[in-house]
Amino acid sequence: MGTRRRLLVAGVGVTGALAAGGAAFGLGGRGRKPVPRQAARSTATVRRMTLADSRTFPAEVTYEEQAPLSVRVSGTVTALPAPGTVLNPGDVLCRVDDRPVVLFAGAVPAYRPLRSGDKGPDVRQLEEGLRALGFAGFTPDDRFNGATADAVSLWQKRLGVTRTGTVDLGLVTFREKSLRVGEHKARVGDAAGVLYDATGTERQVVLTVERKYQALVAVGKAAGVVVAGRTVAGTVARVKTGEKVTAVVTVAEQEALATDAPVDVRLVTRERKDVLAVPIVALLALDRDRYGVEVVDGGAARVVPVDVGLFAQGQVEVSGDGIAEGVTVSVPAERAA
Protein backbone atom coordinates (compact mmCIF):
# COMPACT_ATOMS: atom_id res chain seq x y z
CA MET A 1 0.00 0.00 0.00
CA GLY A 2 1.53 3.35 -1.02
CA THR A 3 1.82 6.38 1.20
CA ARG A 4 -0.99 8.24 -0.54
CA ARG A 5 -3.40 5.34 -0.10
CA ARG A 6 -2.53 4.96 3.58
CA LEU A 7 -3.36 8.61 4.10
CA LEU A 8 -6.74 8.15 2.47
CA VAL A 9 -7.45 5.17 4.70
CA ALA A 10 -6.67 7.26 7.75
CA GLY A 11 -9.72 9.36 6.93
CA VAL A 12 -10.80 11.83 9.59
CA GLY A 13 -7.51 11.66 11.48
CA VAL A 14 -5.55 12.85 8.46
CA THR A 15 -8.09 15.57 7.75
CA GLY A 16 -7.53 16.85 11.27
CA ALA A 17 -3.77 16.71 10.75
CA LEU A 18 -4.01 18.66 7.53
CA ALA A 19 -6.15 21.28 9.22
CA ALA A 20 -3.58 21.57 11.98
CA GLY A 21 -0.74 21.80 9.46
CA GLY A 22 -2.59 24.41 7.44
CA ALA A 23 -3.28 26.54 10.51
CA ALA A 24 0.33 26.49 11.59
CA PHE A 25 2.25 26.61 8.33
CA GLY A 26 0.03 27.05 5.30
CA LEU A 27 -0.18 24.63 2.36
CA GLY A 28 2.06 25.56 -0.57
CA GLY A 29 2.67 23.92 -3.92
CA ARG A 30 5.40 21.36 -4.62
CA GLY A 31 8.83 22.62 -3.60
CA ARG A 32 7.57 25.61 -1.63
CA LYS A 33 8.67 26.05 1.96
CA PRO A 34 5.99 26.12 4.67
CA VAL A 35 4.96 29.63 5.60
CA PRO A 36 4.83 30.10 9.40
CA ARG A 37 1.54 31.28 10.86
CA GLN A 38 0.57 32.05 14.42
CA ALA A 39 -1.37 29.25 16.15
CA ALA A 40 -1.54 27.84 19.65
CA ARG A 41 0.83 24.87 19.80
CA SER A 42 1.88 22.33 22.38
CA THR A 43 4.19 19.33 22.21
CA ALA A 44 4.18 15.54 22.15
CA THR A 45 6.94 12.95 22.15
CA VAL A 46 7.95 10.47 19.48
CA ARG A 47 7.20 7.08 21.03
CA ARG A 48 8.25 3.53 20.20
CA MET A 49 5.17 1.35 20.25
CA THR A 50 3.04 -1.28 18.58
CA LEU A 51 0.35 0.11 16.30
CA ALA A 52 -2.66 -2.02 15.49
CA ASP A 53 -5.55 -1.30 13.18
CA SER A 54 -8.74 -3.21 13.89
CA ARG A 55 -12.27 -4.01 12.78
CA THR A 56 -15.26 -4.42 15.09
CA PHE A 57 -17.97 -7.06 14.70
CA PRO A 58 -21.26 -7.50 16.60
CA ALA A 59 -21.37 -10.55 18.87
CA GLU A 60 -23.42 -12.16 21.62
CA VAL A 61 -22.75 -13.68 25.02
CA THR A 62 -23.68 -17.34 25.47
CA TYR A 63 -22.78 -20.18 27.80
CA GLU A 64 -20.34 -22.86 26.72
CA GLU A 65 -21.04 -26.42 25.59
CA GLN A 66 -24.81 -26.60 25.35
CA ALA A 67 -26.14 -30.17 25.23
CA PRO A 68 -29.34 -31.90 26.38
CA LEU A 69 -29.20 -33.68 29.73
CA SER A 70 -30.89 -37.05 30.00
CA VAL A 71 -31.09 -39.59 32.82
CA ARG A 72 -30.67 -43.37 32.73
CA VAL A 73 -33.63 -44.22 34.94
CA SER A 74 -37.29 -44.90 34.20
CA GLY A 75 -40.15 -43.30 36.07
CA THR A 76 -41.95 -40.00 36.41
CA VAL A 77 -40.20 -36.66 36.74
CA THR A 78 -41.16 -35.25 40.15
CA ALA A 79 -38.78 -32.27 40.46
CA LEU A 80 -36.59 -30.15 38.19
CA PRO A 81 -34.18 -27.30 38.98
CA ALA A 82 -35.09 -23.86 37.66
CA PRO A 83 -33.45 -22.58 34.46
CA GLY A 84 -30.28 -20.68 35.30
CA THR A 85 -29.46 -22.89 38.30
CA VAL A 86 -25.78 -23.85 38.56
CA LEU A 87 -25.24 -27.45 39.66
CA ASN A 88 -21.93 -28.71 41.04
CA PRO A 89 -20.79 -32.29 41.75
CA GLY A 90 -22.90 -33.64 44.60
CA ASP A 91 -25.97 -31.59 43.63
CA VAL A 92 -29.28 -33.15 42.60
CA LEU A 93 -29.98 -32.93 38.86
CA CYS A 94 -33.63 -33.92 39.18
CA ARG A 95 -35.92 -36.28 41.05
CA VAL A 96 -37.59 -39.25 39.40
CA ASP A 97 -40.31 -41.06 41.37
CA ASP A 98 -39.12 -38.74 44.15
CA ARG A 99 -35.65 -40.30 44.10
CA PRO A 100 -32.64 -38.03 43.46
CA VAL A 101 -30.36 -38.25 40.45
CA VAL A 102 -27.00 -36.84 41.55
CA LEU A 103 -24.23 -35.14 39.56
CA PHE A 104 -20.70 -36.56 39.96
CA ALA A 105 -17.57 -35.41 38.14
CA GLY A 106 -16.17 -37.74 35.49
CA ALA A 107 -15.55 -38.25 31.79
CA VAL A 108 -16.82 -41.86 31.66
CA PRO A 109 -20.64 -41.91 31.52
CA ALA A 110 -22.64 -44.05 33.92
CA TYR A 111 -23.49 -47.27 32.07
CA ARG A 112 -23.99 -49.91 34.79
CA PRO A 113 -24.87 -50.34 38.46
CA LEU A 114 -21.82 -50.31 40.75
CA ARG A 115 -21.32 -52.75 43.61
CA SER A 116 -18.60 -54.61 45.53
CA GLY A 117 -16.21 -56.45 43.20
CA ASP A 118 -16.63 -54.06 40.26
CA LYS A 119 -13.51 -52.57 38.68
CA GLY A 120 -12.97 -49.74 36.24
CA PRO A 121 -12.57 -46.00 35.74
CA ASP A 122 -16.22 -45.39 36.61
CA VAL A 123 -15.52 -46.86 40.05
CA ARG A 124 -12.64 -44.42 40.49
CA GLN A 125 -14.91 -41.54 39.47
CA LEU A 126 -17.47 -42.63 42.06
CA GLU A 127 -14.86 -42.90 44.80
CA GLU A 128 -13.29 -39.55 43.91
CA GLY A 129 -16.74 -38.00 44.05
CA LEU A 130 -17.46 -39.52 47.46
CA ARG A 131 -14.11 -38.27 48.75
CA ALA A 132 -14.90 -34.76 47.44
CA LEU A 133 -18.18 -34.88 49.39
CA GLY A 134 -16.27 -35.57 52.60
CA PHE A 135 -16.52 -39.36 52.92
CA ALA A 136 -13.34 -41.11 54.05
CA GLY A 137 -12.02 -44.54 55.02
CA PHE A 138 -10.92 -45.52 51.51
CA THR A 139 -8.39 -44.60 48.85
CA PRO A 140 -9.89 -43.75 45.43
CA ASP A 141 -8.88 -46.43 42.93
CA ASP A 142 -10.49 -48.63 40.28
CA ARG A 143 -11.82 -51.24 42.76
CA PHE A 144 -15.21 -51.17 44.48
CA ASN A 145 -14.61 -52.91 47.83
CA GLY A 146 -16.12 -53.00 51.29
CA ALA A 147 -14.77 -49.57 52.21
CA THR A 148 -16.39 -48.15 49.08
CA ALA A 149 -19.70 -49.79 50.00
CA ASP A 150 -19.54 -48.27 53.50
CA ALA A 151 -18.98 -44.80 52.04
CA VAL A 152 -21.85 -45.30 49.57
CA SER A 153 -24.13 -46.36 52.43
CA LEU A 154 -23.31 -43.22 54.42
CA TRP A 155 -23.87 -41.09 51.33
CA GLN A 156 -27.25 -42.74 50.73
CA LYS A 157 -28.21 -41.91 54.32
CA ARG A 158 -27.38 -38.26 53.66
CA LEU A 159 -29.50 -38.34 50.48
CA GLY A 160 -32.44 -39.85 52.34
CA VAL A 161 -32.65 -42.99 50.20
CA THR A 162 -32.47 -46.65 51.17
CA ARG A 163 -28.98 -47.62 52.35
CA THR A 164 -27.83 -50.49 50.14
CA GLY A 165 -24.11 -49.82 49.67
CA THR A 166 -24.60 -50.23 45.93
CA VAL A 167 -25.20 -47.59 43.26
CA ASP A 168 -28.15 -48.36 40.98
CA LEU A 169 -27.89 -47.26 37.37
CA GLY A 170 -29.48 -43.83 37.24
CA LEU A 171 -28.65 -42.71 40.77
CA VAL A 172 -25.49 -40.98 39.49
CA THR A 173 -24.83 -39.02 36.30
CA PHE A 174 -21.19 -38.33 35.45
CA ARG A 175 -20.23 -35.09 33.70
CA GLU A 176 -16.81 -33.52 33.33
CA LYS A 177 -17.73 -30.16 34.83
CA SER A 178 -20.36 -28.27 36.74
CA LEU A 179 -23.35 -27.28 34.62
CA ARG A 180 -25.97 -24.60 34.27
CA VAL A 181 -29.60 -25.52 33.70
CA GLY A 182 -30.95 -24.21 30.40
CA GLU A 183 -34.33 -24.58 28.72
CA HIS A 184 -36.52 -27.36 30.09
CA LYS A 185 -37.31 -30.17 27.65
CA ALA A 186 -39.59 -31.99 30.08
CA ARG A 187 -42.08 -30.99 32.74
CA VAL A 188 -42.87 -32.38 36.15
CA GLY A 189 -45.16 -35.34 35.50
CA ASP A 190 -43.48 -36.37 32.23
CA ALA A 191 -41.68 -39.67 31.78
CA ALA A 192 -37.97 -39.41 32.57
CA GLY A 193 -35.66 -39.01 29.59
CA VAL A 194 -34.27 -35.80 28.15
CA LEU A 195 -34.90 -33.23 30.88
CA TYR A 196 -33.29 -29.91 29.95
CA ASP A 197 -30.48 -28.26 28.05
CA ALA A 198 -27.30 -28.11 30.08
CA THR A 199 -24.44 -25.73 29.45
CA GLY A 200 -21.12 -25.03 31.06
CA THR A 201 -20.98 -22.31 33.69
CA GLU A 202 -18.47 -20.14 31.80
CA ARG A 203 -19.75 -17.34 29.60
CA GLN A 204 -18.28 -16.96 26.13
CA VAL A 205 -18.67 -14.60 23.20
CA VAL A 206 -19.81 -15.81 19.78
CA LEU A 207 -19.50 -13.86 16.54
CA THR A 208 -20.26 -14.69 12.92
CA VAL A 209 -18.28 -13.10 10.08
CA GLU A 210 -18.10 -13.35 6.32
CA ARG A 211 -15.56 -15.86 5.02
CA LYS A 212 -13.35 -13.05 3.72
CA TYR A 213 -12.58 -12.26 7.37
CA GLN A 214 -11.69 -15.84 8.31
CA ALA A 215 -8.01 -15.01 8.85
CA LEU A 216 -8.99 -12.55 11.58
CA VAL A 217 -10.51 -15.29 13.74
CA ALA A 218 -7.73 -17.88 13.72
CA VAL A 219 -7.70 -20.09 16.82
CA GLY A 220 -5.44 -18.60 19.48
CA LYS A 221 -5.67 -15.06 18.15
CA ALA A 222 -6.23 -12.27 20.66
CA ALA A 223 -9.54 -10.41 20.54
CA GLY A 224 -10.86 -7.37 22.36
CA VAL A 225 -14.37 -7.80 23.72
CA VAL A 226 -16.13 -4.43 23.95
CA VAL A 227 -18.90 -4.42 26.55
CA ALA A 228 -20.52 -1.66 28.58
CA GLY A 229 -18.03 0.92 27.37
CA ARG A 230 -14.86 -0.98 28.17
CA THR A 231 -12.65 -3.54 26.41
CA VAL A 232 -11.61 -6.82 28.03
CA ALA A 233 -9.13 -9.36 26.72
CA GLY A 234 -10.35 -12.46 24.94
CA THR A 235 -8.93 -15.33 22.88
CA VAL A 236 -10.40 -17.09 19.86
CA ALA A 237 -10.93 -20.65 21.14
CA ARG A 238 -12.95 -22.40 18.43
CA VAL A 239 -13.92 -21.73 14.83
CA LYS A 240 -16.59 -23.33 12.67
CA THR A 241 -16.59 -22.68 8.94
CA GLY A 242 -19.62 -22.87 6.66
CA GLU A 243 -21.21 -20.25 4.42
CA LYS A 244 -20.02 -17.91 7.14
CA VAL A 245 -17.44 -18.31 9.89
CA THR A 246 -18.55 -18.64 13.50
CA ALA A 247 -15.93 -18.05 16.17
CA VAL A 248 -16.04 -18.56 19.93
CA VAL A 249 -14.04 -16.13 22.05
CA THR A 250 -13.24 -17.05 25.65
CA VAL A 251 -12.82 -14.35 28.29
CA ALA A 252 -11.03 -14.81 31.61
CA GLU A 253 -12.73 -11.79 33.19
CA GLN A 254 -16.12 -13.47 33.46
CA GLU A 255 -17.69 -10.68 35.52
CA ALA A 256 -17.43 -8.34 32.54
CA LEU A 257 -19.84 -10.57 30.59
CA ALA A 258 -22.50 -10.62 33.33
CA THR A 259 -24.56 -7.97 31.58
CA ASP A 260 -27.35 -7.58 29.07
CA ALA A 261 -25.45 -4.79 27.31
CA PRO A 262 -24.62 -5.24 23.60
CA VAL A 263 -21.25 -6.85 22.94
CA ASP A 264 -18.79 -6.32 20.09
CA VAL A 265 -15.52 -8.04 19.25
CA ARG A 266 -12.57 -6.02 18.01
CA LEU A 267 -10.08 -7.95 15.86
CA VAL A 268 -6.69 -6.76 14.67
CA THR A 269 -6.54 -6.39 10.90
CA ARG A 270 -3.02 -5.00 10.62
CA GLU A 271 -0.21 -4.56 13.12
CA ARG A 272 3.19 -2.88 13.17
CA LYS A 273 5.43 -3.71 16.12
CA ASP A 274 8.24 -1.64 17.57
CA VAL A 275 7.75 1.41 15.36
CA LEU A 276 8.17 5.12 16.01
CA ALA A 277 4.90 7.01 16.14
CA VAL A 278 3.49 10.47 16.78
CA PRO A 279 -0.08 11.70 17.18
CA ILE A 280 -1.74 12.01 13.78
CA VAL A 281 -2.38 15.70 14.46
CA ALA A 282 1.41 16.27 14.53
CA LEU A 283 1.55 15.72 10.75
CA LEU A 284 2.07 18.77 8.57
CA ALA A 285 1.36 18.85 4.83
CA LEU A 286 4.52 20.14 3.18
CA ASP A 287 2.93 19.86 -0.24
CA ARG A 288 0.50 17.52 -1.99
CA ASP A 289 2.62 14.39 -1.54
CA ARG A 290 5.00 15.13 1.31
CA TYR A 291 4.50 15.34 5.02
CA GLY A 292 6.57 16.37 7.98
CA VAL A 293 6.55 17.15 11.66
CA GLU A 294 7.82 20.18 13.54
CA VAL A 295 10.69 19.07 15.80
CA VAL A 296 11.11 21.22 18.90
CA ASP A 297 14.58 21.41 20.48
CA GLY A 298 14.83 23.84 23.36
CA GLY A 299 13.55 27.14 22.08
CA ALA A 300 14.12 26.28 18.43
CA ALA A 301 11.79 24.49 16.03
CA ARG A 302 12.33 23.07 12.55
CA VAL A 303 10.20 21.11 10.12
CA VAL A 304 11.49 17.61 9.36
CA PRO A 305 10.10 15.60 6.40
CA VAL A 306 8.86 12.12 7.37
CA ASP A 307 7.74 8.93 5.70
CA VAL A 308 4.45 7.71 7.12
CA GLY A 309 3.23 4.16 7.65
CA LEU A 310 0.28 2.73 9.55
CA PHE A 311 -2.40 5.02 10.97
CA ALA A 312 -4.05 3.55 14.08
CA GLN A 313 -5.12 4.41 17.62
CA GLY A 314 -4.81 8.14 16.94
CA GLN A 315 -1.12 7.67 16.06
CA VAL A 316 0.84 7.42 12.83
CA GLU A 317 4.03 5.51 12.13
CA VAL A 318 6.83 7.88 11.09
CA SER A 319 10.46 7.62 10.04
CA GLY A 320 13.08 9.97 8.66
CA ASP A 321 16.25 11.86 9.44
CA GLY A 322 16.08 13.42 12.88
CA ILE A 323 13.20 11.19 14.02
CA ALA A 324 14.04 9.09 17.07
CA GLU A 325 12.39 7.92 20.25
CA GLY A 326 11.98 10.77 22.71
CA VAL A 327 12.19 13.57 20.15
CA THR A 328 9.73 16.38 20.88
CA VAL A 329 7.28 17.42 18.17
CA SER A 330 4.72 20.17 17.93
CA VAL A 331 0.97 19.50 18.03
CA PRO A 332 -2.10 21.73 18.33
CA ALA A 333 -2.45 22.83 21.96
CA GLU A 334 -5.90 21.31 22.42
CA ARG A 335 -4.72 17.95 21.01
CA ALA A 336 -1.46 17.46 22.94
CA ALA A 337 -0.66 13.82 23.80
pLDDT digits (tens, 9 = 90+) for 60-85: 999 988 899 999 999 999 999 999 99
pTM (predicted TM-score): 0.67
**Cβ proximity of 172 and 112 under 8 Å:** no
pLDDT value, residue 41 = 77
The domain at 67-199 falls in which architecture?
Orthogonal Bundle (1.10)
Beta bridge pairs of residue 206? 60, 248
pLDDT at 33: 41
Architecture (CATH level 2) of domain 3-53+272-335: Beta Barrel (2.40)
**Residue 108 clears pLDDT 50, i.e. is over it:** yes
Mean pLDDT (whole number) for 232-248: 97
Handedness of CA 245, 251, 254, 260 (dihedral sign): negative
Average pLDDT, the chain: 88
Beta bridge mates, 272? 51
pLDDT digit string, tens, across residues 264-301 = 999 999 999 999 999 999 999 998 889 999 999 988 99
Domain topology for 56-63+203-271: Elongation Factor Tu (Ef-tu); domain 3 (2.40.30)
pLDDT tens per residue across span 192-218: 999 999 999 999 999 999 999 999 999
Position 40 confidence tier, pLDDT thresholds 50, 70, 90: low
End-to-end CA distance of the chain: 28
pLDDT band at residue 39 using 50, 70 and 90 as cut-offs: low
pLDDT digits (tens, 9 = 90+) for 249-262: 999 999 999 988 99
- The rounded radius of gyration (Å) of the Cα atoms in the chain is 32
Residue ranges of the chain that CATH labels 1.10.101.10: 67-199
All CATH 2.40.30.170 domain ranges of the chain, comma separated, are 56-63+203-271
pLDDT at 334: 67
Can you tell me whether residue 254 is helix, strand or coil? helix
> Is 186 in contact with 193 (CB distance < 8 Å)?
yes
Residue 333's pLDDT is 76
Q: Outline which parts of the chain fall under CATH 2.40.420.20.
A: 3-53+272-335
Rounded alpha-carbon distances, angstroms, from residue 61 to 1, 6, 183, 205: 36, 35, 16, 5
